[in-house]
Structure 1
Amino acid sequence: MNRTLLIILTAVLTSQSLIAAEYLIVSKKNAEAQTIDKDIVRDIYLGSKLFWKDGSRIHPVHLPITDKTFNHFVEEVIQMDTSQFLSYWRRKLFSGRAHPPKQIKKIEEIIKFVEDHPDSIAILPLSPKNISEHITVIELD
């Protein structure tokens, strides 16, 4: 019984770490920072954190809501499924309290957006092509 439980627990933990490895968090603003707190990223993508420490406006961007990479991010960091995430933003939009993160269809366009908007933060697949040297991959704490 204990051996079976150990095998199941190992499988669950392994699958959760694989989910976390499905995306990258990138920014130009935080080029000096190598890590960012998971709760801060969650707050950014839920519209609770709007400004960086220096007072500049944060511009979060992501792939389409149907993208597998973004789905993993929403489940792992936001701790919602995509329908809950969409519902959350519909309620906030209806109340006029916030603007959702910008959704961009192509990886190359997200990279360009981050290059052009130093205050942005983005979610990308694990191995994007043509990532700029001006963009920093940030690990979650």
Structure 2
Amino acid sequence: MKSLILCTMLLFTNLAFAELAIVVHPSNDSNFDESVINRIYTGKEKSFSNGNKVIPLSQEANSAVTEEFNSKVLSKTSSQLKAYWSKLIFTGKGTPPKELESDAEVIKMVAANPDTIGFVSAAAVSDNVKVVLTF
């Protein structure tokens, strides 16, 4: 019984500390740092440093990777972020990132559109996208 509990705890510990990768289209030569990513995902930055319009992609709000992104990158809980976006939507000042279902969907969309940016589990990254930051 103790070993089962220990194994379960280790599994969740690994999930809670999974590395995240911020990915863009391979042709995107913009500059990125944590501040830029934060501004993009809070609707304060509307374009990449190369001048192209930015289309941020997210994953479902209840996914582990989204929870990790919100905590590590935005320093917000899901409920704080939901309240933030509700206010911006209500006042007509912003639109939240498009939510996709999985790492694979984010990678597929980013690989197909140079104006997108997304976050995925680092283990899911493929050669179809470029990693610009990891957390």
Q: TM-score, normalised by structure 1?
A: 0.76
SS of residue paired to 1:36: coil
Deviations 1:49-92 (A, max 9, x none): 01112321101111111011111111111011110011100100
What residue in structure 2 maps to residue 137 of structure 1? 131
Distance 1:50 1:29 in 2: 20
Structure 2, unaligned runs of 5 or more: 1-12
Distance 1:118 1:139 in 2: 17
Structure 1, unaligned runs of 5 or more: 1-14
What residue in structure 2 maps to residue 6 of structure 1? none
Number of aligned positions between the proteins = 121
Contact 1:29 1:120 in 2 (8 A): no
Give every structure 1 segment of 4 or more consecutive aligned residues whose post-TM-superposition deviation is greater than 3 Å: 29-33
Q: TM-score, normalised by structure 2?
A: 0.79
Distance 2:72 2:94 in 1: 23
Contact 1:38 1:140 in 2 (8 A): no
CA, structure 1 residues 133+140, in 2 after alignment: closer, same or farther (shift >3 Å)?
A: closer
| Amino acid in structure 1 at the alignment position of 2:133 | E
What residue in structure 1 maps to residue 4 of structure 2? none
| Amino acid in structure 2 at the alignment position of 1:136 | K
The offset of 1:32, in angstroms, is 4.3
Deviations 1:84-135 (A, max 9, x none): 011100100000011111100122221111011111110101211xx44231
SS of residue paired to 2:123: coil
